[in-house]
Amino acid sequence: MQFNENPNIYLFNPTCEYAVANGNSTWHPNKILQKMEADLATLPLFFAEENDIVIVPELPGTEFTDRLKNIGITAPLFKTEKELRANPPAQINKLCPWGWSPAVHKRLESLKPNCSPEFKASRVYNWHPEYRDLYTKKFALQLLTNVIEKYPSEYFIEDDEVSEVCKTRDHIEELLAKWDKLMVKAPWSSSGRGLQPITKQPIHPKVWDKLLGIVKEQGYAIVEAFQNKELDLAFQFELRNGKVNYLGRSNFSADKKGQYLGNSLNGLPDELDDDVKDFAETITEHVIPALTTEIGKSELAKNYEGYFGVDTLIFRDKNGTLKVNPCLEINVRYNMGLLSLYLEKLIAPHSKGRFRTYYNPKKSFYDFCQEMSIEHPLVLEEQKIASGFFPVTAFSPGTEFGAYLLV
């Protein structure tokens, strides 16, 4: 493997959309989200090389790094923020937070002077207020509109089912009358948080409070027709110097409320209907060129550098015909779908697996790992996982959140 002479510095901050929405450089996530970020802090190691640095609240034990060695991974350097501030590397290649925001620019400010001239000249070296709109679901909606107008396809969602921007209760009620069931989304949110499905009428007063709270806090809500979902797909891209490069496709799963659960690895799930699998292959050929071209012409290409993912939704319409929403959301950051493309390399070619995140207030991730390691013993073939359980984040008795592979 070729190394950058100077290290990249990685930081796991998946709450970046909330920080962008808030806009204040002093913003902090609430306690439960802080705990989640802390417990999953080692995740960026899979993007890092041996001489890179991953910022963690506490250094992982040798048990974790030894496990990584068993599957052929030499861990990068882990350092605390306190240690980095006291003793920063004299030369840094670039800063790689999970996602950019005014808050993370402030947090990493002391490291910026030591970065490479290339990074200092990049589009992400400083934050500008106009970047805020690139992180909203409204931006994704504008791209969706462009895609279905300019690249008409029988496979795409119908015009009269495209999401709308709602600023009033009346408008939401109007769409409820039109579509019967709704999915209401906060413009800035991630991993399925900030979502409210509406599947029963009349809407409960507490639900109205939540919907109107989104409008009050963020200025508007994005309202979609609630679809008969068959499959969630995400297309992964990288932007460099205004050029969009397609990296691959990931299949993720979410619960009924839309919250992220995990990703399939090494292909679509076996239990999926053949017609859905075939449709997923067919639409990929239509969606990628359209997204690549439209994003390449957008403000995102002018103002961002790095990875991003586009979530799409395959669903059945009222006639049972398979359709796709080719641009449901854009995640302008590293994301779990991108990570899953890297994790696939750890699995034996003939095996299929799942990447899952974990949180259970009644059981620590540490206890969960002990149980799963016994129930699903790890089987390796030439340092690749053929079957079994493998934790991909560090854990100790106090760890509540985690992530793992089950092959």
The token duo for 175 is 């769409």
Using an 8 Å Cβ cutoff, are 326 and 147 in contact? yes
What mean pLDDT do residues 62-81 have? 96
pLDDT tens for 341-370 read: 999 999 999 999 999 999 999 999 999 999
The whole-angstrom separation of Cα 406 and Cα 149 is: 41
Per-residue pLDDT, 391: 98
Closest CA to 186 of 364, 396, 21, 19: 21
* Residue 249 to residues 156, 238, 384, Cα–Cα distance (Å): 18, 13, 21
Using an 8 Å Cβ cutoff, are 257 and 192 in contact? yes
The token duo for 102 is 């005014």
The C-alpha angle 353, 354, 358, rounded to 5 degrees, equals 145
Topology classification of domain 134-339: D-amino Acid Aminotransferase; Chain A, domain 1 (3.30.470)
Residue 317 reports pLDDT greater than 90: yes
The token duo for 346 is 């750890």
The single-letter DSSP state of residue 204 is P
- Strand ranges, E, within 336-399: 353-359, 379-381, 384-387, 389-391
The token duo for 19 is 């920080």
Q: How much of the chain exceeds pLDDT 70, in percent?
A: 99
* Long-range contacts (CB closer than 8 Å, 24 or more residues apart) made by 153-156: 153/286, 155/279, 155/282, 155/283, 155/286, 155/322, 155/323, 155/324, 156/286, 156/323, 156/324, 156/325, 156/326
The whole-angstrom separation of Cα 281 and Cα 314 is: 11
pLDDT tens for 219-260 read: 999 999 999 999 999 999 999 999 999 999 999 988 777 778
- In the chain, residues under CATH classification 3.30.470.20 are 134-339
pLDDT tens for 184-218 read: 999 998 766 789 999 999 999 999 999 999 999 99
Per-residue pLDDT, 1: 41
Whole-model pTM over 0.85? yes
Classify strands 95-97 and 9-11 as parallel, antiparallel or unpaired: parallel
